[in-house]
Amino acid sequence: MLTDFLMAIAMFFLNPVFYVALFAATMLGYFRVKKERRIFRTRIVYGGTEFKRLLKDGWLYALILSVIVAAAGLAVPMEWLIALSIVSIIVMLTGFYHLASFVYLASASALVVWLFEANDWTINLGFAEMTGRGLADGWLISVALIAGLLLFIESRMVEKSAAAAASPRLHKSARGLRAAAYISRRLWLIPAVLIVPGEMVSEYAPYWPQLPIGESAFSFILFPLVFGFQGRSKRTLPVYLYPKIAKSVAWSAVLTIVLALFGFLWQPMAIIALAAGVLFRLGISLYYAQKERSGNYTVTPQAQGVMIIDVLPGSPAEKMGLVRGEIIRKVNGTTVTNETELYEAIQLNAAHCRLEVIDHNLEMRLRQHVVFRHDHHRLGLLIVE
């Protein structure tokens, strides 16, 4: 049993998806920092953030997903997992994170498996043989349910970290003024326990429930499920946009799961569930992309003060509680309208900096902080002017 258990874990580390995900996350951080340094001459957060979040964010959800899949006996064929690995690697290497939602990856992989079956294709990949599999075995029900569960996990991830991952970019508004938009790109890894054809379950737990997919014996396997997200905001601050997107994605996940459950009564409902999940997820992306593209920039120069594009982590500005999109109206009692006036006013009393700030609700609040010699000379603020 110990040998089978170790083999199930080893399959995770032998899967190239894991290593491509590590590389892709590293590259996300590298190119983000490179872009931020070119625009602002400093980075917002350190370049290893994407790598860190890839490994850290998904562990709790991985445990919950594994328990649900194992308890429900949602078995999937190896043909689909091989196709999923290939599709996931292609998306990560091309950087098309618009298409990295798991419902896209799962559906595309199912389509590949069907095409291989319909055309009697076979490809020897060296480590495995890629073949097709018929849809009559009922495995699409498991795929649709897992896709729905991952879609719900995606909604939680987007709500939790998409806004924090948003990196500012400078553009020109319709009036020719400098304005800021935000690009959020994230990749997540879910190390999930899946049920596949094999001997482990049948040998050590013969009465373990499994969804029949044309096989009589099954095993557990630890598999790297990956999915990603990309969004752009300009008319809405990320902190307000991405919770709305997350809520919409969560409802599409519920729809996908409910339709997939009807597959137990009529198997074609699994296909409908995947199609509905893809269409609704695509509709959400297109709706919010068009909405953000058509509106005015929310972070632009302001007559009543200077608007904050971003705040550097650990800086005096962060300690004062300043956030993106707020407007600094006065510094040490002096009205400021640009960056030069802002830092000249700070020097009036650098030891005790006092700011009047207009928050997102257009309400005035006061912030103050003692500025030490070792603190960032610009308070850690990126502003638009």
33 vs 30: CA distance, rounded Å: 5
Q: Tell me which of 189-198, 200-209, 354-363 is least confident.
A: 200-209
| pLDDT at res. 152 | 98
| pLDDT at res. 132 | 85
DSSP states along 118-182: HHT--EE-SSSEE----GGGSHHHHHHHHHHHHHHHHHHHIIIIITTT-EEEEEE-TTS-EEEEE
Q: Which residues are 311's β-sheet partners?
A: 381
**Would you say residue 131 has pLDDT above 90?**
no
Q: Smallest Cα–Cα separation from 188: which of 220, 163, 156? A: 156
Across 353-360, average pLDDT:
91
Band of pLDDT at residue 236, cut at 50, 70 and 90: very high
**Would you say residue 68 has pLDDT above 70?**
yes
Q: Tell me which of 90-104, 109-123, 284-298, 369-383 is least confident.
A: 369-383
263 vs 268: CA distance, rounded Å: 6
> Is 303 or 243 the better-scoring residue by pLDDT?
243
Q: Smallest Cα–Cα separation from 82: which of 102, 110, 103? A: 110
> Is 3 or 292 the better-scoring residue by pLDDT?
292
288 vs 37: CA distance, rounded Å: 28
**Would you say residue 278 has pLDDT above 90?**
yes
User: Would you give the distance in Å from CA 66 to the centre of its chain?
Assistant: 20
Quick check: 85 and 203 in contact, CB under 8 A?
no
Across 328-335, average pLDDT:
90
Q: Smallest Cα–Cα separation from 158: which of 253, 250, 62? A: 250
The H-or-E segment that residue 321 falls in is none
Band of pLDDT at residue 123, cut at 50, 70 and 90: confident
- Which of 117-131, 174-188, 343-357 is the most confident on average? 174-188
Band of pLDDT at residue 271, cut at 50, 70 and 90: very high
Across 22-26, average pLDDT:
97
Mean pLDDT estimate for the chain: 89
Radius of gyration of the chain (CA): 25
Across 186-203, average pLDDT:
81
Q: Determine the Cα angle at 124 with ends 121 and 130, to 5°.
A: 55
Q: Smallest Cα–Cα separation from 377: which of 337, 347, 356, 333? A: 347
The H-or-E segment that residue 266 falls in is none
| pLDDT at res. 198 | 66
Across 221-238, average pLDDT:
95
Q: Which residues are 194's β-sheet partners?
A: 221
Band of pLDDT at residue 177, cut at 50, 70 and 90: confident
166 vs 320: CA distance, rounded Å: 21
Band of pLDDT at residue 115, cut at 50, 70 and 90: very high
Quick check: 329 and 335 in contact, CB under 8 A?
yes
Q: What percent of the chain has pLDDT over 70?
A: 90
Band of pLDDT at residue 376, cut at 50, 70 and 90: very low
| pLDDT at res. 112 | 95
Q: What is the three-class DSSP state of 209?
A: coil
